Amino acid sequence: MIQTFPKGGIHPAEDKFSAGTPIRVLPLPKKVSIPVSQHLGAPSEPIVKKGDKVKTGQLIAKSKGFVSTNIHSSVTGTVTKVDKMPDSSGYKRLAISIDAEEDQWEEGIDNSKTLNRNISATGEEITGKILDAGIVGLGGATFPSHIKLSVPRGKKAEVLIINGVECEPCLTSDHRLMLEKGEELMVGIQLLMKALNVKRALIGIENNKPDAIRHLSSIANEYEGTEVRTLQVKYPQGAEKQLIKAIINREVPSGKLPIDVGTVVHNIGTAFAVYEAIQKNKPLIERVVTVTGKKIESPSNFMVRIGTFVSDLVEASGGLPDDTGKVINGGPMMGKALDNLDVPVTKGTSGIVIVPSAEAKRKPVLNCVRCAKCVGICPMGLEPYLLQAATEFKKWDLVENERSLDCMECGSCSYICPSGRPLLDYIRLGKSTVNKIIRSRKQ
Amino acid sequence: MSDIVINSIITVSAMGTAAAVILFLVARKFNVVEDPRIDLVEEELPAANCGGCGLPGCRAFAEALVRADDISDLKCPVSSSEDMAKIAVILGKEIAEQDPLVAVVRCAGTPDKRSKTSIYDGAPSCTIESSLYTGESNCPYGCLGLGECVEVCKFDAIFMNPETMLPEVIDDRCTACNACVVACPRDIIELRKKNKKDRKIFVACINEEKGGVARKSCKVACIGCGKCLKACKFEAITLENNLAYIDPVKCRLCRKCPPECPTNAIPEINFPERKAAAEAS
Amino acid sequence: MDKLITVSPSPHAYGDDTVKKLMYGVVYALVPALVISVYFFGIGALIVTSISIVSCMAFEYLIQKYLMNARPSITDGSALVTGLLLAFNLPTNLPWWIIIIGALVAIGVGKMSFGGLGTNPFNPALVGRVFLFISFPAQMTSWPEPIVSRLQYADATTGATPLGVVKEGLNAGVPVSRLMEQIPGYMELFIGHMHGCLGEISALALIAGGLYMLAKKIITWHIPVSIFLSVFLFTGILWLINPYDNADPLFHLLTGGLVLGAVYMATDYVTSPMVPKGMWIYGTGIGVITVAIRVWGAYPEGVSFAILIMNAFVPLINKYVKPERFGEEVKNG
């Protein structure tokens, strides 16, 4: 049975050029810059200073507060700077720069490829270890994973959902991971199930990845309680609430979390990182990043150390093409455009998409013709045209009452608009203003 | 024929009388007694409803004035001090003298002074561009040039200069209502004391980067060298976060600091030209 | 990197729908009806259509360029659609100067006075048609004989529409069953062999175009279906109560430009509601008002008035009818 979510959604061109390229390990970078804020929540606190020698996997910044996590060095070398560095928005944020010399791993880390299926850790140990290893949601939201595993009192998780949808066009990192690290993933899922104390795990995969569905289904039989669910291709199915609706047909109420309907969603990449953290004692210092684009020489999937510069990555896949109009950190629907390539790969970087100049510019903006297409495709059942106008005319109470905060910024409205209107640009502004207003009201 | 005329007159008059009676009764019943001084005060106010006083419109401000015991905290940035004096007479209350202010744009990064490093292709709003990234130039502090300040100005006192790509304030029209200051996502616009003949001396930069970095992003950036500090005899200039700031109240417009600035980040506006002799010395 | 790269907020991918494409989609959908019309009314249909299109586009261009000082956007096809729809609502023997007046009112008053495409509360083509209908009732209610008058324009022999025949007959006290003998059979009506406005005659061609628009996702089904359903139910009830004085529902569906109105005029983006639930309210309203005018009103035909009346309610509908929000009611299964 092929499942999907019923409300809204679009079908952007998939353009998954790198789906057939196996994951390559990117050669060790000479220099890395590791921002202390790679996750949602409070930035971590650096515990190294200039001149310190660090080993690969060594803790260099500590979790600060509940919604925060640890950060580890991804190379062995000398700390050259603990200072503000431009992040992907160009604004300066605190980062730790390290000159890499060699690759000597911190003691206790098992850096071998052997599969370890033997689960010995208890649920609590698993959750604790996930915080220690600095694991965050690798789908792009970078929400610290240990929080999702700490089920609040009075609530109960019934089923774990694993997000293998990868509905963003172009990106293939999760797809490759499912094909190449299937067994490890399954062990990771078992670990997550144990931490949550649930008996069932459902892996959602869209049917544009039949090889991954076949592969994971065949090994899922060996693992108790896991099951692969085939999903119809539709964007934004990888959004948490849409995925839950598609797989177990429950709607997370507005302003609530998945745990309120008895489920927790984790990404494929996260499951792999959990496997490595628990079974191999290896913190999150590398991830799979897709480098792709229509004009790029060799679209690839790389296993990349966190903190590697985007320019190094692009170089490894054939260099920046002459016809480059835009460089996106992430997928084309929700990724962030970069204005230069000297920014580091962070825990949330799922891909780098190079867009040729012909496709880099937006359509000219025309009047809204009220075609209602944005209303029809909004997966959250909002009215983007109205939110946009209300924001433009600063009617903040209307923006708030029309449920702008339910918007997850999937970009479907801007995608579909025949008049090329910057709907999401304004909705985002509306959301942040409404958030500010709500915060000031509470004080 | 005459029947129709007479009938119409009677009907219409009857309806009119009935309506008048109803209106009279309703007006009596729902009459709200209002302090008559509110109307008098409101008449003296500029009726621009700009919100510069922090209240929703001039009527609300008038009400606040009448209600308050001490009106020295209530300021209308648009009204002249004579207007406010009149209001004080109406209310029989003391009023604080206020210096007239004017909006000043603290960025001089014209296109030839800072190079363009990317093309912004989003919604034409400074706030949206600013929340996305540092902007088309390298300077994360500079003006983005999309004119949100122009949009919010109710007095047409600020416009985008198409050559410099920077907003310019028309001092005569500016009422210092603060709307542009609030609108600018980069806090570039400041309200400063209005001087004679609209003369101005201020640091036209808010870049807090270290000297080299600031200089790299813009040729007229304040590099925090502190030369102006030494030139100032009135201790009007302070240096914080690699950025000089001239206190508008302490500054006596002596014109000592502008020539000292190595990056020409301190403009002098509406001054007579310097004498050649003064330049030589 | 010599060239500057572009930075914009997400999303960075865009669909290939444009206003132009959608508008030309409507034009393509109208072609079959135009062809049928030319078959029945001949040169009259061609003359009226061309005058209407040319003058609508000319007025749009002139008003944008000289009155609004804006860059003319006639290439987006919206004026073409208005011109075509206006022509579809006119008899094929209408004098040329009346068509031009109609185009001026449609574009000038109906569209541009509100600020152009996207801001007009009423369907411009219908504003033009209703203006002409009230100003030139004689010319607007003489319809050329189909097929016979193929080679005639202003001097065509004319007759009454089926709805007109029924209305007049009922007013004179003739029972419906007798009147039905004077009008063509249902199959003829379906194909379009009857007196009527240029484009409203052939339900067959109009429905074919409508299906094309549905397939291309230019319109959604809610508005046409709700209009058809409400007209069918309302006239059906009246017919069941009193078959002696009321025509049957099928007759009402096939005549008087109901299909044209329901599929092309009521679904106009700008003047129809945004949310499916609102579209149902709007469509049902149009259906009920249409039947009310036809049965109890002074005019034999009421689709245009019904659409314009419901257009006025659209802002209200948009304000109060909201889409089904995700996660609003907890529906857990």
Distance from C-alpha of B191 to C-alpha of B180, rounded to nearest angstrom: 10
A360 contacts B121? CB cut-off 8 A: yes
A256 touches chain C (CB under 8 A): yes
Q: Is residue A30 part of a domain?
A: no
Residues of chain C above pLDDT 70, percent: 98
CA angle A210, A215, A221 (to 5 degrees): 125
Same domain, A249 and A377: no
Distance from C-alpha of A218 to C-alpha of A212, rounded to nearest angstrom: 10
A332 contacts C12? CB cut-off 8 A: yes
Cβ-in-10-Å burial (0-12, 13-18, 19+) of A222 comes to exposed
Is the confidence at residue C1, as pLDDT, over 70? Answer: no
pLDDT: which is higher, C58 or C176: C58
A339 touches chain B (CB under 8 A): yes
A251 contacts C331? CB cut-off 8 A: yes
Q: Is residue A436 part of a domain?
A: yes
Distance from C-alpha of A282 to C-alpha of C182, rounded to nearest angstrom: 90
Instruction: List the domains of chain B with CATH numbers.
Output: 36-91 (1.10.15.40), 101-280 (3.30.70.20)
Q: Please compute the mean of the pLDDT values over residues A126-141 and round it to a whole number.
A: 90
Sequence-distant (6+) residues with CB within 8 A of A131 are A63, A69, A70, A144, A146
Q: How confident is the model at residue A247, as a pLDDT? A: 94
The alpha-carbon gap from A325 to the nearest alpha carbon of chain C, in Å, equals 5
ipTM of the complex: 0.89
pLDDT confidence bin for B1, thresholds 50/70/90? low
Query: Is the Cβ–Cβ distance between A333 and C11 less than 8 Å?
Result: yes
Residues of chain A with C-beta less than 8 angstroms from the C-beta of B128? 422, 425-426, 428-429
Q: What count of CB pairs under 8 Å joins A to B? A: 42
A371 contacts C269? CB cut-off 8 A: yes
Among A165-174, B240-249, C157-166, the least confident range: C157-166
Q: Which residue of B has its CA nearest to C3?
A: B118
Distance from C-alpha of A248 to C-alpha of C333, rounded to nearest angstrom: 8
Is the confidence at residue A23, as pLDDT, over 90? Answer: yes
Q: Which residue of A has its CA nearest to C73?
A: A366
Q: Which residue of A has its CA nearest to B135?
A: A90
Q: Is residue A267 part of a domain?
A: yes
Distance from C-alpha of B61 to C-alpha of C180, rounded to nearest angstrom: 73
Q: Express each pLDDT in C162-199 by its tens digit.
A: 888 888 888 888 888 888 888 888 888 999 898 889 99
**DSSP E strand boundaries for A142-184:** 159-163
Q: Please compute the mean of the pLDDT values over residues B151-168 and round it to a whole number.
A: 91
Q: Please compute the mean of the pLDDT values over residues B38-49 and round it to a whole number.
A: 84
Residues of chain C with C-beta less than 8 angstroms from the C-beta of A373? 17
Same domain, A271 and A377: no
pLDDT confidence bin for B237, thresholds 50/70/90? very high
Interaxial angle between packed helices C78-88 and C124-135, expressed in degrees from 0 to 180 and rounded to the nearest 10: 30
Query: Is the Cβ–Cβ distance between A131 and A70 less than 8 Å?
Result: yes
pLDDT confidence bin for C331, thresholds 50/70/90? very low
Q: Please compute the mean of the pLDDT values over residues C43-68 and round it to a whole number.
A: 93
Distance from C-alpha of B76 to C-alpha of B61, rounded to nearest angstrom: 8
The alpha-carbon gap from C132 to the nearest alpha carbon of chain A, in Å, equals 26
**DSSP E strand boundaries for A176-285:** 200-206, 226-231, 263-267
Distances (CA, A) of C138 to C83, C131, C317: 22, 13, 36
Q: Is residue A216 part of a domain?
A: yes
Distance from C-alpha of B121 to C-alpha of A328, rounded to nearest angstrom: 14
Q: Is residue A49 part of a domain?
A: no
Q: What is the 3-state secondary structure (H, E, C) of A360-397?
A: HCCCCCCCCCCCCHHHHHCCCCCCHHHHHHHHHCCCHH
Q: Which domain holds residue A160?
A: 123-279
Q: How confident is the model at residue B96, as a pLDDT? A: 67
Q: Express each pLDDT in A319-343 by its tens digit.
A: 888 889 999 999 999 999 998 899 9
Residues of chain B with C-beta less than 8 angstroms from the C-beta of A396? none
B117 contacts C6? CB cut-off 8 A: no
Q: Which of residues 342-371 of A touch B (CB under 8 A)?
A: 360-362
Is the confidence at residue C307, as pLDDT, over 50? Answer: yes
**Interface test with chain B among C5, C7, C12, by most B beta carbons within 10 Å:** C7
B131 touches chain A (CB under 8 A): yes
Q: How confident is the model at residue A326, as a pLDDT? A: 93
pLDDT confidence bin for B276, thresholds 50/70/90? low
Query: Is the Cβ–Cβ distance between B93 and B70 less than 8 Å?
Result: yes
- Tell me which residue of A284, A278, A279, A271 sits closest to A128, measured CA to CA: A278
pLDDT: which is higher, B44 or C310: C310
* Three-class SS state of C304: helix
Residues of chain C with C-beta less than 8 angstroms from the C-beta of B132? 7-9
A428 contacts B128? CB cut-off 8 A: yes
Sign of the CA dihedral running A430, A433, A434, A435: positive
Q: Is residue A248 part of a domain?
A: yes
A339 contacts B117? CB cut-off 8 A: yes
Residues of chain A with C-beta less than 8 angstroms from the C-beta of B133? 89-91, 337, 339
Query: Token pair for residue A60?
Result: 């260099």
Among A123-137, C73-87, C114-128, C146-160, the least confident range: C146-160
C interface with A, Cβ–Cβ below 8 Å: 1, 3, 5-15, 17-19, 21-22, 73, 76, 78, 116-119, 220, 269-270, 272-275, 318, 322-333
Sequence-distant (6+) residues with CB within 8 A of C21 are A418
Q: Is residue A2 part of a domain?
A: no
C interface with B, Cβ–Cβ below 8 Å: 4-9
At A132, which CATH number?
3.40.50.11540
Is the confidence at residue B277, as pLDDT, over 60? Answer: no
Cis peptide, bond prior to residue C11, ω within 30 of zero: yes
Mean pLDDT, chain B, as a whole number? 87
CA-based end-to-end distance of chain C? 55
Picking from A279, A304, A337, the residue at the C-terminal end of a domain is A279
Q: Which of residues 126-155 of B touch C (CB under 8 A)?
A: 128, 132-133
Is the confidence at residue A97, as pLDDT, over 70? Answer: yes
Q: How confident is the model at residue B62, as a pLDDT? A: 87
Q: Express each pLDDT in A232-286 by its tens digit.
A: 999 999 999 999 999 999 999 988 999 999 999 999 999 999 999 999 999 999 9
| DSSP state letter for A329 | E
Same domain, A382 and A240: no
- Tell me which residue of A239, A231, A302, A283 sits closest to A265, measured CA to CA: A239
Same domain, A254 and A392: no
What count of residues does chain A have?
443
Picking from A279, A309, A333, the residue at the C-terminal end of a domain is A279
Q: Please compute the mean of the pLDDT values over residues B236-263 and round it to a whole number.
A: 90
Same domain, A256 and A382: no
Q: Express each pLDDT in C80-138 by its tens digit.
A: 999 999 999 999 999 999 999 999 999 999 999 998 888 999 999 999 999 999 999 98
Q: How confident is the model at residue C2, as a pLDDT? A: 55
Q: Express each pLDDT in C212-228 by its tens digit.
A: 999 999 999 999 999 99
The alpha-carbon gap from B135 to the nearest alpha carbon of chain A, in Å, equals 8
Residues of chain C with C-beta less than 8 angstroms from the C-beta of B111? none
Distances (CA, A) of A191 to A113, A124, A282, B62, C258: 18, 11, 15, 67, 64
Residues of chain B with C-beta less than 8 angstroms from the C-beta of A361? 121
The alpha-carbon gap from C217 to the nearest alpha carbon of chain A, in Å, equals 9
* Three-class SS state of B250: coil
Query: Token pair for residue C100?
Result: 């031009």
The alpha-carbon gap from A210 to the nearest alpha carbon of chain C, in Å, equals 25
Q: What are phi and psi of A38, to 5 degrees?
A: -110, 5
A420 contacts C7? CB cut-off 8 A: no
Residues of chain A above pLDDT 90, percent: 76
How far is C-alpha B127 from the chain's CA centre?
18
Q: Express each pLDDT in C270-290 by its tens digit.
A: 999 999 999 999 999 999 999
A328 touches chain B (CB under 8 A): no
Q: Please compute the mean of the pLDDT values over residues A137-152 and round it to a whole number.
A: 88
Q: Express each pLDDT in A150-201 by its tens digit.
A: 888 889 999 999 999 999 999 999 999 999 999 999 999 999 999 999 999 9
- Tell me which residue of C153, C132, C122, C205 sits closest to C43, measured CA to CA: C153
What chains are in contact with C, requiring at least 3 Cβ pairs below 8 Å? A, B
Same domain, A271 and A137: yes
* Three-class SS state of A99: strand
Picking from A257, A279, A301, the residue at the C-terminal end of a domain is A279
Distance from C-alpha of B145 to C-alpha of B162, rounded to nearest angstrom: 9
Is the confidence at residue C333, as pLDDT, over 50? Answer: no
Q: How confident is the model at residue B222, as a pLDDT? A: 93
Sign of the CA dihedral running A310, A311, A314, A316: negative
Tally of domains within chain A: 2
A295 touches chain C (CB under 8 A): no
CB atoms within 10 A of CB A418: 23
Residues of chain A with C-beta less than 8 angstroms from the C-beta of B139? none
Q: Is residue A264 part of a domain?
A: yes
A361 touches chain C (CB under 8 A): yes
Among A177-186, A402-411, B75-84, the least confident range: B75-84
Q: How confident is the model at residue B221, as a pLDDT? A: 92
Q: How confident is the model at residue C74, as a pLDDT? A: 85
Same domain, A398 and A272: no
Mean pLDDT, chain C, as a whole number? 91
